[in-house]
Structure formats: C-alpha cells, structure tokens
Amino acid sequence: MNDRVAPIVGFLSGKGGVGKSNIAANVAVACRILGAEVLLIDGDLGLANLDALLGLQPSRTAADVVSGRCGLNDAVVEGPHGIHVLAAARGDRELTANGPSELAPLLLPVFEARRRYGIVILDIGSGIGKTALTLSASCDLAVLVTTPELTSIVDAYAMLKVLATEAPDLPTQVLVNGTRNEYEASHVHDQLTVVARNFLSRVPGQLGYVPTDARLIEAVRRQRAVVDVFPSARASRLLVGIAKRLLDERAPGRRSQRPPADDSTIGART
C-alpha cells in the first residue's frame, strides 16, 4: 500500500466566466497523459458543466453521493485517457449552501480514496458561497483562476481576502487565463501580489497562464479537452506544463486529511 496520499487541488475563482472549469478539466486530462491516476470532481454541485465539457453522460452525480443514494465509486465514470470523473447535478439550488456536515458523505469518501490516485482535482463553484468555502477548506492547494479584466482581478482579490480568513493555511497560486502573453499574466499576478501583501500579509504564488487560443474554443465546441484534440496548440503545451508542476510539487495533505468537522466557522465572517 502506498503511504503517500494524493493532494486535493481546488480550482476556484471569484466570479464565473473566467474559464475555470475548462482549465480544471484540461489539467486533469494532462495529468493523466503524464501518467498520474486522476480523480476529477465537479464541485459546482448545483450547476454542473464538467460532464458537458468532456462529452460525458453520467447516470449518477455528486448529488447522489451527498444524499446517500449511492457511494463515490458508484457515481464515478471514466473520462478521457482514463481519468475518473464525478459529475455534479444541474439546477439544484440547495446544493450551493451546504456546510461540512452536509458534505461529509462526499468529502469523507474522497479523503479515503486519495491513496488510489496521484492527484485529486476539485473544480469548485465560483464565489464565496457556503459550499464553495467548505470545499476550498478541504483542499491542500487552491488554484485561483482569473483573467486580465479589471472586474476579474477585483473578484480574485476578494476571494483571496475571504480565504485569508476562512482557510488561512491554504496555499494559493494564481493562474491567469485568456492572456495575450506571459508579460500580461505576470502583470496581473503583480497587481494581486501588491494588494495581498499590503492588506492580507500573504502573497499568492504564480502557477502559470493560458493564452487566448481559438483551439480552446473549438475544443469546447467538440466537447473535448484541448490537450487531447489539439496537443500541439500553445494553450495545450502550457496546460501540460501546469499539470507537470502540480504533479512535481504534490505532497501529503497539509493538515489532518479530514474535511472540516462542523459548520461553526465556515461562512461565519463573510
């Protein structure tokens, strides 16, 4: 038995529409291409989109796991290159306001399954809702996805501010999507670094960037991962590089390898 547990890497954003889910899906497929066993979870529990992005049609979802209607293994389906995917439900508003106790039927099996995988990628719903914060607090690393747009940068800082209170020991790295070049991505990170250092006394890391690429849009239209259908595209090469960095830096869980025990702190100060 491997004593090393897979890290849970959460992809999050301050606002929707920044391409977070597409990046999470592509990084998951890229990790599998690089040889890791991958579990990809749609953590936007009431507004599923990972199954659509990857052309999957699961019969069971995370909602069935949370409700106890089935176990984690029963709801997981095989995706591109053999990644394991747990899809989410659509249009279930109640699932966006769950705390640790309600999410325990999902989080506990995920924590127990970590020895079977090389990495667990959790695509967390946008914003600072209760479910999103609960899932974020259960991660070993947060990847904060933003774009160069001012509103997206402002919302990314707001997310950093909330994480500084709700999950102060959660390492966070910034990934800039939809950039023109590396210089623009670095400028976005520098902007976030300045305000985070001055007002939060913490500095997020810089994981990388994904440029604007027409082949990303075409891959979404085909319901395929761009790293799969267009492996030589610039965006694909950079996404594989991001996946490699995550795999190279993976380590055992930063805390107790258990989800939060109760609802007493999650969302209490937001």
Span 108-134, pLDDT tens digits:
999 999 999 999 999 998 988 888 899
A 10 A CB-CB count for 17 gives: 11
pLDDT at 214: 96
pLDDT at 180: 93
Is the confidence at residue 96, as pLDDT, over 80?
A: no
Burial 36-67 (b: 16+ CB within 10 A, else e): bebbbbbbbbbbbbbbebbeeebebbbbbbbe
Question: Tokens representing 247?
Answer: 């795999």
Query: Using one digit for the tens of pLDDT, what is the confidence trace for 149-172?
Result: 999 999 999 999 999 999 999 999
Mapped onto helix, strand or coil, the DSSP state of residue 60 is coil
Asked if the model's pLDDT at residue 257 lies above 50, the reply is no
Asked whether residue 255 is assigned to any structural domain, the reply reads no
Which range among 59-68, 94-103, 248-257, 258-267 shows the weakest confidence by mean pLDDT? Answer: 258-267
The total number of structural domains in the chain stands at: 1
Residues 171-180: tens digit of each pLDDT: 999 999 999 9
Band (93; pLDDT cuts 50, 70, 90)? low
Whether 189 is in a domain gets the answer: yes
Q: Does residue 232 lie in a domain region? A: yes
CA 187 – CA 43 distance, rounded (Å): 29
End-to-end CA distance of the chain: 41
Output the average pLDDT for the chain. 89
Summarize the confidence of residues 219-234 as an average pLDDT. Answer: 97
Contacts 24+ apart (CB under 8 A), 2-5: 2/115, 4/115, 4/252, 5/114, 5/115, 5/252, 5/253, 5/257
Better-predicted residue by pLDDT, 62 or 260: 62
Classify residue 79: in a domain, yes or no.
yes
Q: 3-state class of 139 per DSSP?
A: coil
**Cβ 256 vs Cβ 107: under 8 Å:** no
List the one residue out of 104, 106, 100, 161 whose CA is nearest residue 128.
161
Q: Which residues pair with 40 in a beta bridge?
A: 85, 121
pLDDT for position 101:
86
- State the pairing for strand pair 141-146/77-78: unpaired
- Host domain of residue 41: 8-248
Strand ranges inside 47-170, DSSP E: 77-78, 84-86, 119-124, 141-146
Torsion, Cα of 181, 183, 188, 190 (10° steps): 160
Q: State the greatest distance between any 2 C-alpha atoms of the chain, in Å, as a whole number.
A: 49
* 261 or 227: which leads in pLDDT: 227
- SS3 of residue 190 by DSSP: helix
Is 34 exposed, middle or buried (CB count within 10 Å of its CB: 0-12, 13-18, 19+)? Answer: middle
Q: Within a domain: residue 258?
A: no
Residue 250's pLDDT band, with cuts at 50, 70 and 90, is low
pLDDT tens profile 38-72: 999 999 887 789 999 999 999 999 989 988 999 99
> Which among 92, 23, 9, 19 has a CA at the least distance from the CA of 241?
23
Looking at per-residue pLDDT, the higher value among 91 and 56 belongs to 56
The pLDDT of residue 40 is 98
Decide: pTM greater than 0.85.
yes
Flag whether 51 is in a domain. yes
Which CATH number goes with the domain that contains 159?
Answer: 3.40.50.300
Question: Is residue 32 in a domain?
Answer: yes
Does a structural domain hold residue 69?
yes
Please state, for a pLDDT cut of 70, what percent of the chain lies above it: 89
**Mean pLDDT confidence for 263-268:** 38
